[in-house]
């Protein structure tokens, strides 16, 4: 029995979701199952290749729905889980009892753990710590911006490595380890710490650059990281540097795409007035109400900046 698992790539919750599903499947469905992993990245006009669904079972975790008749399991918590109304209707009409969507969950990892425990008798065992941390990391449930930015916990270091590392074999190895070993053993192994070291240095530089270029007004912080070649940053840095920020908007460029990221400051007492996923959906993006993004084709810096500025204006109202 070979299971294809499609998971959200370069995301701690995506990796943890795949690990928890594997553990569940071996424990409750078939102890002889083997797994083939496929990391998925959000694309404008998402396309799922047919070869992804050639397993005996085909599973998607922490990633959008696909209307493929060979999809057998699906778990997601993203507000923008459906690309089209037809996708959502298709999901609502399916009756196999193995497809689950609940955007009230902070992490897909916890969604999988809770549902499989309730309906299939899954025992999370040593994965308890992993599930707990996936919920903190994906749901931004840190006690403070300081705790989120001054990365002290092993799980945070592993999350940073997973987000930055582009090596597919590394990800697959980590996912298999996470399904079998305690979280801290995986996070503190030399292979992970070796990858973390340069990231820590970059993280310190990013804090400095954002401090220098960010513009804050009316509770909205904006920064354009395109000139610095930065492809990602710890999304809590703006709240750490500028605690009066309600929302932040950033622009980044990679060789494949330009990206606008938007976030809400979870430590602000002020109530969130905007649904950030809805705002991003207007431009073909999506995510969660409190953190969302838009991917645009590369080499459209002018259009991207214009959209980002429009969003900044919208968030100020």
Residues that bind Mn ion (CB under 5 A): 13, 62, 108, 138
- CB 317 → Mn ion: shortest distance, Å? 29
Measured from each CB, the residue nearest to Mn ion is 13
In the complex with Mn ion, which residue's Cβ is closer, 10 or 300?
Answer: 10
In the complex with Mn ion, which residue's Cβ is closer, 79 or 222?
Answer: 79
In the complex with Mn ion, which residue's Cβ is closer, 17 or 245?
Answer: 17
215-217 and 2-8 beta bridge pairing: unpaired
In the complex with Mn ion, which residue's Cβ is closer, 105 or 122?
Answer: 105
- CB 183 → Mn ion: shortest distance, Å? 17
**Distance between CA atoms of 299 and 297, rounded to whole angstroms?**
7
Q: Enter the tokens of residue 179.
A: 């399904």
In the complex with Mn ion, which residue's Cβ is closer, 266 or 301?
Answer: 266
List the strands of the sheet with 220-224, edge to edge. 215-217, 220-224, 247-253, 257-264, 291-297, 286-287
- CB 182 → Mn ion: shortest distance, Å? 22
- CB 310 → Mn ion: shortest distance, Å? 27
CA torsion through residues 181, 172, 290, 118, sign:
negative
Nearest by Cα to 31 from 42, 23, 43, 21 = 23
- CB 171 → Mn ion: shortest distance, Å? 15
In angstroms, the Cα distances linking 29 to 6, 25, 116, 131 are: 18, 5, 11, 20
**Distance between CA atoms of 317 and 312, rounded to whole angstroms?**
9
Strand ranges inside the chain, DSSP E:
2-8, 34-40, 57-61, 73-76, 99-101, 215-217, 220-224, 247-253, 257-264, 286-287, 291-297
In the complex with Mn ion, which residue's Cβ is closer, 138 or 163?
Answer: 138
């Amino acid at each position: 029995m070979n299971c294809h698992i499609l998971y959200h790539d370069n995301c701690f919750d995506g990796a943890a979701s795949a690990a928890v599903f594997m553990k569940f499947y071996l424990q409750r469905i078939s102890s002889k199952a083997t797994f083939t992993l496929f990391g998925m990245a959000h694309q404008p006009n998402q396309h799922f290749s047919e070869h992804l669904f050639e397993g005996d079972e085909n599973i998607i975790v922490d990633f959008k729905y696909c209307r493929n008749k060979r999809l057998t399991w699906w778990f997601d918590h993203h507000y923008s889980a459906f690309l089209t109304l037809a996708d959502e209707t298709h999901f609502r009409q399916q009756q196999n009892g193995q497809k689950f969507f609940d955007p009230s969950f902070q992490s897909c990892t916890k969604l999988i753990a809770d549902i499989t425990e309730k309906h299939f008798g899954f025992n999370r065992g040593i994965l308890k710590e992993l599930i707990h941390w996936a919920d903190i990391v994906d749901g931004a449930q840190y006690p403070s911006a300081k705790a989120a930015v001054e990365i002290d916990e092993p799980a945070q270091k592993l999350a940073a490595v997973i987000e930055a590392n582009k090596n597919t074999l590394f990800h697959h190895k980590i996912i298999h380890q996470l399904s079998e070993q305690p979280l801290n053993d995986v996070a503190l192994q030399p292979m992970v710490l070796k990858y973390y070291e340069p990231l820590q240095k970059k993280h310190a530089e990013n804090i400095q650059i954002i401090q220098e270029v960010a513009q804050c007004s009316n509770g909205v912080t904006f920064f354009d990281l395109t000139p610095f070649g930065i492809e990602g940053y710890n999304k809590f840095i703006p709240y750490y540097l500028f605690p009066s920020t309600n929302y932040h908007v950033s622009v980044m460029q990679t060789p494949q795409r330009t990206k606008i990221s938007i976030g809400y400051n979870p430590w602000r007492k002020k109530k969130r007035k905007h649904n950030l996923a809805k705002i991003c959906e207007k431009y073909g993006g999506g995510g969660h109400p409190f953190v969302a993004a838009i991917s645009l084709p590369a080499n459209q810096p002018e259009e991207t900046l214009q959209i980002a500025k429009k969003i900044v204006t919208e968030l100020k109202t």
